[in-house]
Amino acid sequence: MDLKERISVVLVGTQSPGNIGMVCRAMKNMGLSDLRLVNPCSVEHLDAIKFAVSARDLLERARIFTSLEEAIADAEFSVATTRRHGKYRSEIWTPGEVVERFAECAPGSRLALVFGREDSGLTTDEVALCRWQSTIPTADEFGSLNLSQAVLIFCYEFLKGAQPAPVKEAREVAGSALLEPLYSHMEKVFLKIGYLNPQNPDHMMRTMRRIYARAELDEREVASLRGLLSQIDWACAEFKGKKGS
């Protein structure tokens, strides 16, 4: 099954119709479409329709349940989202860790992401119905997230986890045959303009080597630097001595 067919977003006791609408939009942004509502406020409220924007189809298809147990019955895995820690809320993962764990599950497995009420979250009994627990790390000073923000973050992590890693274009890095003449040219010009200490030019040249080693220059970049050095060499024909001497 496609990932979006395997992930359900379950909202428990949502109090604001606008939040339901915004959750629909967040889900559609990230390619998810299965919304389940447990004892929600009115989904036909104008705020729900207004904030869903172009995700109104998700709102219209949302399924309503009378219990969380019923809403997650077909999901082998379920995640209770919570900010609270305690005796029954000990092993709590980040959204990214949930994605990693679910990626290791059987390809046909279903997962329900369960979000609680805006003001009080999920009850301890509701958390106990879920197999896993997860929280979004936030600043200690203010950790409260809007419901739709929390849903968006989880959905984004799943979308990101489903994307194949981008294939980087192979880049040919210049080898010693090009770099050593560059360093020799650099040392010659730097000595000429008084930048290097003639008694110990290697001290600064080692720093230059480290800088350009990190840059992983390609052939074109080496040629550009050689051109710059040649221009400096030509421009300092009437060099009057090191600055400040």
Q: Which amino acid is at 37?
A: L
Mean pLDDT of 150-172: 79
pLDDT value at position 181?
94
pLDDT value at position 241?
65
Residue in 112, 107, 113 with CA at minimum distance from that of residue 153: 113
pLDDT value at position 88?
46
Mean pLDDT of the chain: 89
At residue 240 the predicted structure's pLDDT band, cuts being 50, 70 and 90, is: low
**pTM for this structure?**
0.72
Cα 140-145-148 angle, rounded to 5 deg? 160
Residue in 82, 86, 106, 112 with CA at minimum distance from that of residue 94: 82
State yes or no: pLDDT of 24 exceeds 90.
yes
Q: In whole angstroms, what is the distance from residue 198 CA to residue 47 CA?
A: 76
State yes or no: pLDDT of 68 exceeds 60.
yes
Q: In whole angstroms, what is the distance from residue 141 CA to residue 225 CA?
A: 49
State yes or no: pLDDT of 76 exceeds 80.
yes
State yes or no: pLDDT of 103 exceeds 50.
yes
Mean pLDDT of 29-44: 95
Q: In whole angstroms, what is the distance from residue 187 CA to residue 201 CA?
A: 7
What's the per-residue H, E or C state across the chain?
Answer: CCHHHHEEEEEECCCCHHHHHHHHHHHHHCCCCEEEEECCCCCCCHHHHHHHHHHHHHHHHCEEECCHHHHCCCCCEEEEECCCCECCECCEECHHHHHHHHHCCCCCCCEEEEECECCCECCHHHHHHCCEEECCCCCCCCCCCCHHHHHHHHHHHHHHHHCCCCCCCCCCCCCHHHHHHHHHHHHHHHHHCCCCCCCCHHHHHHHHHHHHHHHCCCHHHHHHHHHHHHHHHHHCCCCCCCCCC
pLDDT value at position 172?
87
In tens, the pLDDT along 105-138 reads: 888 899 999 999 999 999 989 999 999 999 998 8
pLDDT value at position 92?
87
Of the given ranges (80-84, 106-110, 168-172, 211-215), which has the lowest mean pLDDT? 168-172
pLDDT value at position 108?
86
Q: Sketch out the chain's domains with CATH numbers.
A: 3-162 (3.40.1280.10), 176-235 (1.10.8.590)
Mean pLDDT of 82-91: 61
Name the residue with higher pLDDT: 105 or 169. Answer: 105
State yes or no: pLDDT of 151 exceeds 80.
yes
